[in-house]
Amino acid sequence: MTAATAHGSAGWRTPWTPGTAIVTPSWRACYGRASMDAPDAQLIRTIAAAGRDARLAEAELCRRFAPRIYLYGRRHLRDEERARDLVQAVLLAVLQAARAGRVAEPEHADRFVLGTCRHLASRVRSTAARDVPVDPGLLETVESSAPWTTWNEARADAGALVRCLAALDERSRQVVMLSFQDECPADEIASRLAMTAGHVRVSRHRAVAALRRCLESRAATAPEVAQ
Amino acid sequence: MTACPCPLSWETLVDYWAGDLPPAEADRLDEHLFGCDTCAQVSTRVASVTEALRDLLPPALSRARLNALRATGLRLRENAFSPGERRVVVFGDDTDLLVHRLAGLDLNGADHVSLQVVVESTGERLVVVDAVPFEREEGAVLIACQRHFASLPADTRFELAIHPLGSQGAPARAVYTILHQYPPAKVGGPPP
């Protein structure tokens, strides 16, 4: 991911070697600014080497991948709690594999993590995938990467969303509600609203963009609400 | 962060979050999003809207849907209102979902019921729905009020229009005014 794909596995600009302090003082907060500029492959190798920087490399790997796994979970499991369970299950599996040197192609860590997501998503759907005894230190590292705190900040305020929905024209409002509340595919919406599927898609992406703009505009102008 | 050489379009990402892409294309997007910061950020922006829409309950729910929500462990509190009534309701800490039972309606000959929610003090229309679920035998429409609506104005007027079967005659109308109060959260208490 980040450094590995952005700069290429051989050409990244700020090489990081184990033992060099490139860690911010707040690395324990984990889900914050990047604490290392090492490519994913190097983090995997550092974890496998089990040296003194292994824990930092584990935390950094969690920080990088937790948001992607969470989004994957939201998209495929359609459930907040299960998405959280998936993050934990996948990160634990990836770190255990990295410690055991079982990540066959460290240069493609993102593919390894995605493959683990796909494998574990079906288990998370039906069972408590995290009910497996694990090293408490590993669990602490994984839990400190919680991406849902940032997600909840980014997620639209429901009251503002209601007002932004009211500002849409009736047809656009019907299209987004049928799409995201009734889970209707575009062709079904098209037949219900006497539109073409292509028109439904255009209407839908424009409506989502309009809602995003409306929400951003409201967030920028809203006074602080006393809690 | 380096720019993506082949960024995913907003349109594609909306279809992706709507679950409206062929499985093979959705798989391809998953792979791209796992390896690309730029597109993952755009995807997060799309998802912040689409998933908030999914989390939003419709303004009116059927009794069956409410019972299903109750069965999930949600703490519901139901308040009954008569047509023309104007009353304060408090969204207490012990409640997850406030249900306004807009009662006193003759729904025996109803074809459909439309709902409009208006801010009493400003006239702003918050919700307009052509056909909401209604309980014919109970003579009521059940409004779901979620805690995160606290950011909406507190004074809301619920206007129902009951359209008779066969489009015979003008719709019967009923208005209820509900003044919401949200007690301040307790410091150090459990999260809402």
Give the tokens for residue A211: 């809602």
My answer on whether A62 and A124 are in the same domain is: yes
Domain tally for chain B?
Answer: 2
Name the band, by pLDDT with cuts 50, 70 and 90, for residue A36: low
Size of interface A-B (CB pairs under 8 A): 138
CA distances to A180, A211, A217, B144 from A165, in Å: 13, 7, 14, 17
Chain B residues lying within 8 Å of A120, measured CB to CB = none
Distance in Å, alpha carbon of A185 to nearest chain B alpha carbon = 6
Query: How many of the other CB atoms lie within 10 Å of CB of A111?
Result: 13
**Are residue A44 and residue A107 in the same domain, yes or no?**
yes
Question: Which of the residues A163, A216, A218 would you substitute to probe the B interface, choosing the one with the greatest number of B C-beta atoms within 10 Å?
Answer: A163
Choose among B92, B98, B54: nearest CA to B74.
B98
End-of-domain residue from the set A118, A147, A176: A147
Torsion of CA B65, B148, B74, B95, to 10 degrees: -120
DSSP B179: E
- Pick from A82, A92, A1: nearest CA to A43: A1
Residue that is last in its domain, among A147, A165, A189: A147
Facing residue for A212 by CB, picked from B15, B49, B148: B49
Query: What pLDDT score was predicted for residue B117?
Result: 93
Question: Cα–Cα–Cα angle for B93, B98, B104, nearest 5°?
Answer: 145
pLDDT of residue A136: 66
Note whether A56 and A119 are same-domain residues.
Answer: yes
Q: Are residues B39 and B113 in the same domain?
A: no
* Domain end marker among A147, A173, A204: A147
Task: Name which of A5, A181, A215 is nearest B36 (Cβ-Cβ).
Answer: A5
- Domain extent for B79: 60-181
φ/ψ of residue B114, rounded to 5 = -105, 155
pLDDT score at A187: 96
Predicted confidence (pLDDT) at residue B20 exceeds the cutoff of 80:
yes
Indicate the residue among B21, B40, B55 that finishes a domain: B55
Claim to verify: residue B142 and residue B50 sit in the same structural domain: no
Same domain flag for B97 and B42: no
A152 and chain B: CB distance < 8 Å anywhere?
no
The token pair at A113 is: 């993590």
| Beta-sheet strand order (sheet of B60-61) | B60-61, B141-146, B97-102, B76-81
| Polymer length in residues for chain B | 192
- Domain end: B37, B55, B73, which one? B55
Residue pair A42/A16 in contact by the 8 Å Cβ criterion: yes
Q: pLDDT-derived band of residue A18, with 50, 70 and 90 as boundaries? A: very low
| Exposure string over A70-93, b if 16+ CB within 10 A, otherwise e | bbbbbbbbeebebbbbbbbbbbbb
Q: Tokens representing A171? A: 């047809």
Domain that holds residue A172: 156-221
| Residue in A205, A215, A216 to test binding to B, most B beta-carbons within 10 Å | A205
B104 vs B37, residue with greater confidence: B104
Question: Does A11 share its domain with A66?
Answer: yes
Beta-carbon neighbour count of residue A31 at 10 Å?
A: 17
Cα nearest neighbour of B50 on chain A: A180
Q: With beta carbons less than 8 A apart as the criterion, state whether B41 and A212 touch.
A: no
Q: How many CB atoms lie within 10 A of CB B72?
A: 7
Query: Distance (Å) from the C-alpha of residue B81 to the closest C-alpha of chain A?
Result: 23
CB contact under 8 A, B1 and A2: yes
Instruction: List pLDDT tens digits, range A212-223.
Output: 999 999 888 765
**What's residue B39's pLDDT?**
93
For residue A106 the two structure tokens come to 């460290």
Domain match, A7 and A34 both? yes
Contact B33, A71 (CB under 8 A): yes
Helix, strand, coil share (%) of chain B residues, nearest 5: 30, 35, 35
Q: How close does chain A come to B21, measured CA to CA in Å? A: 9
Q: Do A212 and B48 touch (CB under 8 A)?
A: yes
Is A227 part of any domain?
no
> What is residue B123's three-state secondary structure?
coil
Q: Are residues A133 and A186 in the same domain?
A: no
Phi and psi of B90, rounded to 5°?
Answer: -105, 130
Collect all residues of chain A within an 8 Å Cβ-Cβ radius of residue B46: 208, 212
pLDDT, mean over chain A: 77
Identify the CA nearest to B59 among candidates B136, B137, B142. Answer: B142
Please give the tally of structural domains in chain A: 2
- Co-location of B129 and B170 in the same domain: yes
Partner residue opposite B30 with nearest CB, options A72, A157, A161: A72
Q: Spell out which residues of chain B touch residue A118, defining contact as CB-CB under 8 Å.
A: 30
Asked if the model's pLDDT at residue A33 lies above 50, the reply is: no
H or E element: which one contains B97? strand B97-102
Residue of chain B minimizing CA distance to A164: B126
pLDDT band at B2 (very low <50, low <70, confident <90, very high): low
CATH number (domain holding residue A205) = 1.10.10.10
A111 vs B31: CB contact, 8 Å cut-off? yes
Instruction: Establish if B25 belongs to a structural domain.
Output: yes
Model confidence pLDDT, tens digit, residues A57-102: 999 999 889 989 999 999 999 888 888 889 989 999 999 999 999 9
Nearest residue, CB atoms, B44 vs list A71, A158, A165: A71
Nearest to A211 among B11, B17, B49 (CB): B49
Instruction: Verify whether the Cβ–Cβ distance A226 to B184 is below 8 Å.
Output: yes
Is A81 found in the same domain as A132? Answer: yes
Nearest-Cα residue of chain A relative to residue B191:
A227
Report chain B's mean pLDDT, rounded to a whole number.
Answer: 89
Instruction: Kindly state whether residues A36 and A124 are assigned to the same domain.
Output: yes
Do A133 and A167 belong to one domain?
no
User: Do A6 and B2 lie within an 8 Å CB cutoff?
Assistant: yes
Q: Which of B120, B105, B117 is nearest to B171 (CA)?
A: B105
A213 in contact with B, Cβ within 8 Å = no
Q: Are strands B76-81 and B97-102 parallel, antiparallel or unpaired?
A: parallel
**A221 in reach of chain B (CB within 8 A):** no
